[in-house]
Structures are given as C-alpha cells and as structure tokens.
Amino acid sequence: MLMNKNDITEQAHRVYPDLTLNILTRQEHKISRKQISESALKVLYRLQSSGYHAYLVGGGVRDLLLGESPKDFDITTNATPEQVRKLFRNCRLIGRRFRLAHVMFGREIVEVATFRGHHQENDRQKSSQSEAGMLLRDNVYGTIDEDAERRDFTINAMYYNIADYTIHDYAGGIEDIEDRLIRLIGDPQTRYREDPVRMLRAIRFAVKLDFDIEEETAAPIEALSPLLQDIPSARLYEESLKMLQTGYGLETYHQMRHYNLFQQLFPMISAYFTEDHSSPTEKMLDLSLDSTDQRIEEGKRINPAFMFAAILWYPMIHLAETFMESKNLCYYDAVMEAGNKILDQLVKTIAIPRRHTATIRDIWQLQLRFPRRHGKRAFRLLDINKFRAGFDFLTMRGIVEGGETQELAQWWETFQNAGKNMRQAMVNDIGRINSKKAKARQRQTGQQKNSQDVP
C-alpha cells in the first residue's frame, strides 16, 4: 500500500530537519545579474515568463557570495524536465537516477533540475533505495521547501530568485559561509548512506573553499567509507577527476587518505602506504599531484592518463617482479602482464576510458625503452607521439629513485635540447660504453669458464 502524503512528510522530517527560511532582499546581498552568464539568465527569464518558478541554486549562488566566478550556473524550477524541453529547442534530457534537463548554448551547458520531493520506497516507478539506504532512483518531484531539505550541504541550499532578486537561505548557508564550515543538512549517517559520494563532496568542497568540515558531518566518514565500493565505477571515475584534477589534487588526496576514502578508490595503491609516507608510491603520488596542480594554475593542459600512469607505476612494477619469479618471465613480458592486471583491477573500481588506458600503457612502455639509446633508437624515440609524457614521468622517477634513473633522465634532458652533432656524439658515447660493458662481461664469463676447467 502506498504511503499518504502526511506519512511521507512525517518520515522525511525524521531524516531532514525542519529548515528555517531566511530571505535576503536585493539590498542585503551582493549578487548582481551582471555576474550571471547570459545563457543562465535566458533560461531563468524564459521559465519565469512561461509561468514557472526559476531559481539559480547551489554552487553558483555560493561562489557568487564568496566573490568567486562560478564554473557552472545550475537552475532549479517547478517545471518538469519534459516541460523544460518544450520551452527550449536546444535542450536534451539526461540521467536515470535523477532526470535533468541540459540547455545547450554552444559549449556552455545550463543544467535545469526540477524541485525534488521526499522519496517513498513503495513507489518503485519514481524512487528506489538499496537495503543499505542508497538512493538508486530519485525522480520524485516536490516543492522548493522539500528541495532545500534534500540538498546535501547548507552552503548549497541557497536559492537566487530571478523574480525579485532575493536569496532564499533554507539551512543557514549564509552563516556557514561566514564561519567557513561544510555542514550536512540532516542526519549525516543517513545522508551518506543515501549517496556515499557525499563523503567525497565534503572533502572536495572543504579543500576547494578552504573551509573546515563541521564535527558531526566529519565524524561518520571514515567508518562509512567502504560504502563507496557500491558506487558505479563510471561515476567514481568522474568523481576522481573532480577530486584530483581540478587544481587542489595534492591537498585533496591527503584529506581523502585521512578519512580512508582514497583507499576505497585505489585499493591496489593503498597497499603500499606507510606510516611515514616514505614509500616510492607515496612519493610519486605527491609529485604527480603537485605537478598537476601547478599545470592547472599555469593554465596548461593536463591528461588524466599521466596521473594514473604515475600513481600506478610502483604497484605495477612490484607485481611484475613477482611475475618474474613465479612465472619465470623476462622483465619486459612481466611488466606487460602486470600492467594489464593492474589496469583491469582499477577499471572495476574506476571506469577509466580505453583511450586513457592505452596512453598509460604507452607511457609505461617508454620507461622500458628509454635506457636503449644506441644506434638510431634515441632519435626514433624523440619522434614518438607520447615521448614528452614519457619523459616527464621519467624525470619524476629520477626524483623518487635517484641513481641511474636520475642520470638517465638528465641524459634525455640534454639530448632533447642538443644540436644534431652533439646528439650524435652522445649516442656514440653510449655505444662505446655499451661495447666496454659487453667486453667486460665476456672476460668475466671467460674467467669463470676457465676456473671451472681447472682440475
């Protein structure tokens, strides 16, 4: 039997608190329409002129109040996704867990969501929860009040009303912005079980905004972190990029590790964690994430494949060494097989696209080819498409490992920047060195044979 509306509301308020609406007039806040993209304003005004309520919501309002330029402008309305699509020819509907409308203006996408209501388990056509409390489907529409209760954090439950330019603050978001706090709306245990990705979002917002996580919001995270294992791998791939590839990766990684979240996304890496953070894997993590942050700050392009290649390298090499012993494989074959094994394991947790796994393998294979510099090999390597990515990774390995790896990286640095004659001289030197080593090995082999022949 379906629950009636009063029962649903009573059940909801056990989880979601009764929120107190605080309305800030235009004179009481600093958000101006000049700060909102023209595309978002077009959507807001068309919804309003068509008789619907229309609000800018979430991170856009939060960032404008913080004096930042929002990356996206999200809109919420009482119009259903199908009604939104009728208003905009440049609209498409996406999502299964929660239906959304994307209104496209060239490369800019304005996301429009219908007010969410409280789910009821018995209505399987609209909502569904797992036994652990995770929301599997959530296409239940409601009022703006219910939508505010369903928002995750207080700083994301503020609505800018295009009708009169007021801000509707339902959960004390203004106060938490002033106190620089990340606070969940409702019971943290329940909200994390509904959507475990909220634990990642809490860390991401705290690092990005330089906020603290409120004590009750932070308390259950470590214990509930294994719930991330139930999240679809495709979604965790997108979340991993938001966590580690948006300019705050190094600090985010340390916070994730503190709350046992990184270990859930990368179990094959966390096996090499130490108390003093001194393993080659941990050093490479710090180096690669710091490098990514610097590139983003400098406006340079980044490739997720490079980050994954770097942080998976030492676990892959360790596995290759075990294959050499257990399967009697040569080093090259062991690395190839270990690389496939590691990537297969990771893809089950984080669905890295095939184009990136191919690049990861290219970067790893270059590490095996860099020591082979005699004859024409060094010149040919320079022409390979992934040479620069492979060399940058070799440089990081040199910092971590020192010794011969660092010398090799320095040789390639010089070789790249040298003229034609100097490059040839460097290759000739390598040939002479290799020849001397070969003769030394032959003498050593001959001496050992002679010693065995002595009666």
- Residues involved in catalysis: 72, 74, 152
Cα distance between residue 97 and residue 112, in whole Å:
15
Vertex 96 angle, CA 93 and 39, to 5°: 30
Residue 160's DSSP bridge partners are 56, 167
Segments in 88-220 forming alpha helices (H):
144-150, 173-179, 188-194, 197-209, 215-218
By CB neighbour count within 10 A (0-12 exposed, 13-18 middle, 19+ buried), where does 440 fall? exposed
CB-based contacts of 264-270 (< 8 A; 24+ apart in sequence): 264/225, 264/226, 264/228, 264/229, 265/228, 265/236, 265/240, 265/349, 265/350, 266/311, 266/346, 266/349, 266/350, 267/345, 267/349, 268/312, 268/315, 268/342, 268/345, 268/346, 269/311, 269/312, 269/315
